[in-house]
Structure 1
Amino acid sequence: MSEDITKPLQFGTKDRRVVGLRERLIRTGPAPHGLDPRDVDDPTAFDDVVQTTVRGFQQARGLLVDGVVGPETERRLNEAQYTLGDRRLHWDVNEPLRGEDVERLQDNLSQLGLYYGHLTGTFDEKTHHAVVELQHSLGLQATGAVDSQTIAALARVNKKISDSKAFSLRDYHRLERATDAIRSQRVVLVPAMFTNNPVIPAGAPDNYREIAERITVDVAVRAHELLNEVGATPVLVANRPVVDRRGTHIDVRSSIDEALGTSRDAVVVVLDTDWNRSSAAHGVSVFYWGDDDRAKATLSPIGERAAALTLREIIARTGALDLGTHGRQWGVLRLNSVPTISLDLGYLSNPGELSRLEDPEFRTHMATAVVVGLQRMYLQASEDMPTGTMNAVDLAREIARRPQS
């Protein structure tokens, strides 16, 4: 019988792909005894050594630590096969190069003030132009391709400006100046079940997806209406028709990339729910592109601030348990070219929390919190109103009194 190459690899699996998995894990860092295929009797077996190594890899990269090699872990494993200098990097329009070597390059370019934005690990047009600028500055042939000569020159001139990354400093400066941005901001609303790789929590019932989709789509629709009222440009991502509360069809896009188009002044908000084997689990959390190790630099300052302010608004308006904001390196947060947050609205496994999420008024509070949380990013501290007190009317009035940019 042929093996299903799309099936996730996990403990107990016996599959020829496990041999390659062992070799890829070895290339990502120190390998424990028993991981090398040459050191075990059956290298096709996904044993406890492989599981422990996979969990360590997931932990180090901010992934869900479940020991299962699914699509997200598979992608990060592929990206982790290269360190900077292992291969020639260049911009391929049709099939962009991806990997941790590209991310390291972007980090170095950012510290020199040549690259702005998220460290996506994708060698895109922006990375290409940053490399060209570097090569011009160093008197190298400006091909935009990163070869051994460019890497050697980069190593000589690179310098640490502070414990914070240069792109973070520029991000904060941009935020401070964008005091009216919500008025023209593109806000992409994404019910999590419409992302490329929606996650169904372990132990969730068969109808989990249906319930989660219904709740998150309704919150997205309500946020869409509020954003329209305040002059923003909301865009909804869905793979099916969606109507607003008046029965009018909302213009939807099939993917985040399509929703963003050519815009780079945008924010992506993913709306999700969760499930836990304990029916007592409850609360709201928000995730952004970063690392939960607070000693490390924030990778998306705007995303982190949007997460914190949105969560504050939700707690103030609903009384939900504050489960905090957390940096994660999930693809949906990391691979977008704009700040992205993922909001867990609550646990469907908790009957009381599910009942609240089914309440239209409660969902309106959630939607309002998202909109006001985003607006708070652009308000000067001296003009800020107490958390939980601003509504759509206040928001519109605040925007209207500002001079047009």
Structure 2
Amino acid sequence: MNTEDTEPMLRRTMTNRRVVSLRERLLRAGATVAYLAPQDVNNPSYFDDHVDAAVRAFQQQRGLIVDGLVGPETDRALNEAQYALGDRPLYLDEGRPLRGDDVTMLQHNLSRLGFYYGHLNGVFGSSTHHAVTELQESLGLSPSGVVGRETIASLARINRNITSSKAFSLRDYHRLERATSALRGRSIVLVPSRDTGQQSPASAPGDFLDRADAITRDVAVRASELLHEIGAEPAVVHPDPAPHARRGHAVRTVASATEATTGQPESVVVTLHCDWNSSPAAAGMSSYYWGEQDRSEIYSPIGERAAVLVLKELVARTGALDLGTHARQWDVLRGTDAPTIWLDLGYLSNPGDRTALADPEHRNHLAEAIVFGLQRMYLLADDDLPTGTMRLDDVAGFNGT
């Protein structure tokens, strides 16, 4: 049984034996907060202010939601941060793939040498294995696919010759260059909030996830209908694999975004969310893509472009406050080979946003904005239309329908 499903999230003021391990993992991940080490405090199992500060600093550094809560995503990121390249042998285990910062660093080096063109997702999968064997063959090593001392030593010798070519993002740029202007035939996966693993904010009421899921699922279905009408191949992630009929159109459902994008490198994944804040004044919409939080690296150029254009359309067509487009390294953004964006459609804690999201007409505008933003992503400059002016007839024309 997965302990994530049975053990509660760790948070400030809790006393739990797992806090002792949390302190040690934070230290190994590079935390420098005073009175963090178990031996420096009277009760190392107590989640005090020092642990809270270290968790928040780690979340900020990793581009996670900074809430001080150690839930599944923060816990997973901490586990990955325990390893530097060379701490352990790396190899392909298809049953339980190795994850960690050491794998990310390996992928980074391989990509800059031109052997690896996948996402820097920190998961030692088949593409990383093939890149390692190619590297080993080129260096005259046994092509075992196992990254041990000999392979790491060889990487270290040539490391000074590695330059930052950003090879990991070239695939996305090439896809955009080769893309036609049509959404017809393109796989678009829409993921309602509950199916992204979104957690309920600490200040949110108990029914927050249910309300957010109902809203985002309705928007996903409406966007799916529009995409289906222009000949795209949309799918909505839903725990029930049976098709869901709506207005005469059977909405195709899939169990997960990973399942839907396997073997579909041209897919785009759109995850939909509602937000909550302890202050009812917080309002607006935002979008996210996979990259370094300081924007020094964009790991998914298609994701970044989609996040920017879809948010512009959302804001223009609803009048919502624009909270900007941001780079993050959340698992949901880097977990598939397909470009993925995260859309926050508004705050259920804000009276104005909450009223708007409850309105079916508003949700229809959100669905249209998603389609228009995705369409604009593939248009040449001469064909593009100003933000907020594209119509469904225009989209039909671009797709020959």
Tell whether the structures are fold-level matches, with TM greater than 0.5: yes
Q: In the alignment, which of 161, 164, 178 is matched to residue 163 of structure 2?
A: 161
Residue in 2 that maps onto 1:226: 226
Q: Deviations over 1:174-208 (max 9, x none)?
A: 2122124622221110001122x222123222332
Query: How far, CA to CA, are the matches of 2:75 and 2:355 in structure 1?
Result: 36
| Aligned partner of residue 258 in structure 2, secondary structure | helix
Measure, in 1, the Cα distance between the counterparts of 2:43 and 2:248. Answer: 59
Q: Deviations over 1:294-335 (max 9, x none)?
A: 3x1112111111100101111222221110011112111122
C-alpha contact (below 8 Å) 2:33/2:53 kept by paired residues:
no
- 2:304 match: 304
What SS class does the counterpart of residue 382 from structure 1 fall into?
coil
Q: Distance in 2 between matches of 1:316 and 1:394?
A: 17
For 1:49, the equivalent position in structure 2 comes to 50
**Which position in structure 2 is the counterpart of 1:37?**
38
Separation (CA, whole Å) in 1 of partners of 2:367 and 2:93: 39
Which residue is 2:376 aligned to?
376
The answer to whether the aligner puts 1:395 opposite 2:398 as a matched pair is no
**Aligned 8 A contact 1:178 1:378 in 2:** yes
CA distance in 2 between partners of 1:270 and 1:103 (Å): 24
TM alignment of 1:5-404, pairs within 5 A: 6-158=7-159, 159-162=161-164, 165-180=166-181, 182-195=183-196, 197-240=197-240, 243-246=244-247, 249-294=250-295, 296-400=296-400
What one-letter code is carried by the residue in structure 2 that aligns with 1:161?
Answer: T
Identical-pair percentage = 57
For residues 391 and 323 of structure 2, the distance between their equivalents in structure 1, rounded to whole angstroms, comes to 24
Q: State the distance in 2 between where 1:248 and 1:177 align.
A: 31
Partners of 2:112 and 2:212 in 1: how far apart?
41
Task: Report SS of the residue matched to 1:270.
Answer: strand
Following superposition, the deviation at residue 123 of structure 1 comes to: 0.4
Q: 1:371 Cα deviation (Å)?
A: 1.4
Look up the equivalent residue of 1:202 and give its one-letter code.
Answer: A
Runs (4+) off by over 4 Å: none
**Equivalent residues of 1:221, 1:244 under 8 A apart:** no
Instruction: Confirm or deny: 8 A CA contact 1:348 1:354 kept in the other structure.
Output: yes
Moved more, 34-43 or 152-161: 152-161
SS at structure 1 position matched to 2:274 = strand
1:5 Cα deviation (Å)? 6.5
- Partner-residue secondary structure (3-state), 1:94: coil
Q: What CA distance in whole angstroms lies between the structure 2 residues aligned with 1:85 and 1:149?
A: 10
Question: Which shifted more, 271-280 or 318-327?
Answer: 271-280
Q: In the comparison of the two structures, how many residue pairs are matched?
A: 395
What is the DSSP-based 3-state SS (H/G/I as helix, E as strand, rest coil) of the residue aligned with 1:344?
strand
Query: Mean Cα displacement is larger for which, 100-109 or 204-213?
Result: 204-213
Residues 313 and 244 of structure 1: CA distance in aligned 2, closer, same or farther (over 3 Å): farther
* TM score, norm. by length of structure 2: 0.93
CA distance in 2, matches of 1:172, 1:185: 17
Q: Taking structure 1 as reference, are residues 313 and 278 closer, same or farther at Cα in structure 2, changes over 3 Å only?
A: same
**Corresponding letter in the other structure for 1:216:** T
Larger displacement relative to structure 2 (106-115 or 386-395): 386-395
Looking at structure 1, the residues matched to 139 and 154 of structure 2 have their Cα atoms a distance apart, in angstroms, of 8
Q: CA deviation at 1:161?
A: 3.4
For residue 9 of structure 1, report the CA deviation from its aligned partner: 1.4
Q: Deviations over 1:268-299 (max 9, x none)?
A: 111111112222221110111122213x1112
* Distance (whole Å) between structure 2 residues aligned to residue 144 and residue 209 of structure 1: 43
Shift of 1:119: 0.9
Report the aligned-residue RMSD: 2.0
**Match of 1:370, as an amino acid?**
I
Normalising by the residue count of structure 1, what TM-score does the alignment of the two structures yield?
Answer: 0.92
8 Å contact from structure 1 (residues 190, 268) kept in 2: yes
Q: Secondary structure at the match of 1:142?
A: coil
Runs of 5+ consecutive residues of structure 2 not aligned to the other structure = none
Confirm or deny: 8 A CA contact 2:261 2:336 kept in the other structure: no
Provide the secondary structure at the position in 2 that maps to 1:345. Answer: strand
Q: Which amino acid letter does the alignment assign opposite residue 214 of structure 1?
A: A
Structure 2 counterpart of 1:350, which letter?
N
5+ residue gaps, structure 1: none
Post-superposition offset of 1:160: 4.3
Counterparts of 2:391 and 2:105 in 1: how far apart (Å)?
Answer: 42
Specify the SS of the correspondent of 1:183.
coil
